[in-house]
Amino acid sequence: MGDIVEDKASFYSNAEGYWKDVPPTVDGMLGGYSSISSIDINGSKAFLKRFLGDGEGKTGTGCALDCGAGIGRITKRLLLPLFQTVDLVDVTQEFLEKAKSYLGDEGKRVGNYICCGLQDFVPEARRYDVIWIQWVIGHLTDDHLVDFLHRCQKALRPGGLVVVKDNVSYEGVIPDEVDSSVCRDLGIVRSLVARAGLRIVHEEQQMNLPKEIYQVHTLALR
Ligand SMILES: C[S@@+](CC[C@H](N)C(=O)[O-])C[C@H]1O[C@@H](n2cnc3c(N)ncnc32)[C@H](O)[C@@H]1O
């Protein structure tokens, strides 16, 4: 598939403008669907726990990276309870500022708050046990997503895991002019993962979401 994004500069600047006007709340992060946050987090916890632990092939619990972290909804309830240190990266400075209070006392274990677009972000080599990328891949062009996933692979510690959790369309690429993003079907996401040189080691659909929203799938990659 070719990239359907024609004007990359305005694709990114329109998205930045959109998120600047969104309130720094869980409801803001989830487009008004704060009621699904617990379902999402519990599904993610069960998904991730199968990989964590000691021994051959297991993923460590030293350091995680939350990509497109927003105010730290996932950092607070999924990553800080499971990892010693968590870094957050997001393009919206106001969300990262809010995260500093939203994360409360446990926020002391945040290593770095990084304000950067994922298309430009280079994670530190071999720093992370888990790189969590949720509800943000639609803000990257195909080529930028492939390159970013490839950089993430290099940023993993031995046994480390990249997790992509996102909306998927039934077929093709559906643009969203409002927040300047795209929603891809699962076949397209899988092919971009393969182009990045990563392998899908586990895949699940998030169940119990409202019928009117996109299906959400979680992919564990190495
Ligand atoms: C739908 S919210 C999801 C936030 C968080 N992942 C969650 O699930 O609670 C999308 C987030 O992606 C961020 N974002 C949008 N475009 C981005 C980009 N190019 N690079 C990094 N972050 C981006 C927004 O600022 C916003 O915080």
Nearest protein Cα to ligand 1, atom 20: 117
Write out the two tokens for 133.
């990328």
Distance 139 CA to ligand 1 centre (A): 8
Least Cα distance to 75 among 58, 51, 95 occurs for: 95
Are 161 and 129 in contact, with CB atoms under 8 Å apart? yes
Of ligand 1's atoms, which has the minimum distance to the CA of residue 92? 25
Domains annotated for the chain, with CATH where assigned, are 8-221 (3.40.50.150)
If one residue of 65, 77, 136, 166 were mutated to test the ligand 1 pocket, choosing by the most ligand atoms within 8 A of its CB, it would be 136
Question: Does the predicted model carry a pTM greater than 0.85?
Answer: yes
Distance CA 92, CA 70 (A): 7
CB 47 within 8 A of CB 79: no
Residue 31 CA to residue 61 CA, distance in Å, equals: 30
pLDDT for res 1:
43
d(CA 4, CA 105): 43
Mean pLDDT by 10 residues, the chain (222 residues): 76 98 98 97 98 91 98 98 98 98 98 98 98 98 98 98 98 98 98 98 98 98 98
